[in-house]
Amino acid sequence: MSTNGDVLIQVKEVHKIFHDSLHALNGVSEEILRGEVVVIVGPSGSGKSTFLRSLNLLEVPTTGKIFFEGVDITEKQTDIDKHRQKMGMVFQHFNLFPHKTILENITLAPIKLLKKSKEEAEKQAMQLLKQVGLEEKAASYPSQLSGGQKQRIAIVRSLAMEPDVMLFDEPTSALDPEMVGEVLELMKKLAHDGMTMVVVTHEMGFAKEVATRVLFMDEGQIKEQGRPEEFFENPKDPRLQEFLSKIL
């Protein structure tokens, strides 16, 4: 049994070099504890998305190790697909499957990967849809939904796999301003329900209100981190001070 406070993800000295030149991650070590809501901020090109995407190996580190629930997932023999089932991911551009209905989008992975029966998966999907107030969209296709609705469905699709951690890669950046709120609301609700979350975002309000810890990334490194109060009130790193003065 694992409880809150256990180390869920451990990142050890990770470097990521793109095309032999761009040093996107420059020796990052970090731990994500169960129950934490970690928000990662930083200027564009600072490596925050690369860091997030390396947690489930969408980006494979050039060197360094990543442990998930005690297993080294950077080890070649590790069945990464099995571990990814426990790590939900939400993308900036939703990436719903356009050829499938909302219900099929949500039930595809539970049916094929968790071997749930169609009825069981659909029942669970409808419950989740009800929680986000979109149950009447079950038979619709993604193209018939607004951006905010798409992103909430994308979150539900990940939740249907009952993950141990949810990774959010700028989940509100592609949304019209009036739709940002509904997605953040859902993410807040998830956080309150105890979901472990790692969120890359520019929504400082969300970071202040919901994060248990905020990381500042710059030049491929974590330059500063702390509880939101001290992070925003009392930044020490000059680059962070500059960054915060620009966006707040």
Binding site for other proteins (CB under 8 A): 56, 58, 81-82, 84-85, 87-89, 91, 93, 95-101, 108-109, 112-113, 141, 143-144, 154, 157-158, 161, 167
CB nearer to other proteins: give 117 or 144.
144
Specify whether the CB–CB gap between 112 and 100 falls below 8 A. no
Specify whether the CB–CB gap between 248 and 204 falls below 8 A. yes
Residue 29: partners with Cβ closer than 8 Å, 6 or more residues away: 11, 12, 13, 14
| Alpha helix positions (H), 87-234 | 102-112, 118-131, 147-159, 177-192, 204-210, 228-233
CB nearer to other proteins: give 96 or 240.
96
**Ramachandran sector of residue 149 (left: φ over 0; alpha: ψ -120 to 50; beta: rest):** alpha
Closest separation in Å from C-beta 22 to other proteins: 18
Closest separation in Å from C-beta 186 to other proteins: 18
Please tell me whether residue 2 adopts helix, strand or coil conformation: coil
CB nearer to other proteins: give 57 or 204.
57
Closest separation in Å from C-beta 175 to other proteins: 15
How remote is the C-alpha of 55 from its chain's centroid?
Answer: 9
Closest separation in Å from C-beta 83 to other proteins: 8
Neighbour tally for 169: CB within 10 Å: 20
CB nearer to other proteins: give 102 or 191.
102
Distance CA 210, CA 37 (A): 7
Which tokens go with 49? Answer: 């998305």
Distance CA 154, CA 151 (A): 5
Closest separation in Å from C-beta 113 to other proteins: 5
Closest separation in Å from C-beta 99 to other proteins: 5
CB nearer to other proteins: give 11 or 90.
90
CB nearer to other proteins: give 53 or 223.
53
Closest separation in Å from C-beta 205 to other proteins: 27
CB nearer to other proteins: give 153 or 207.
153
H or E stretch covering 48: helix 48-55
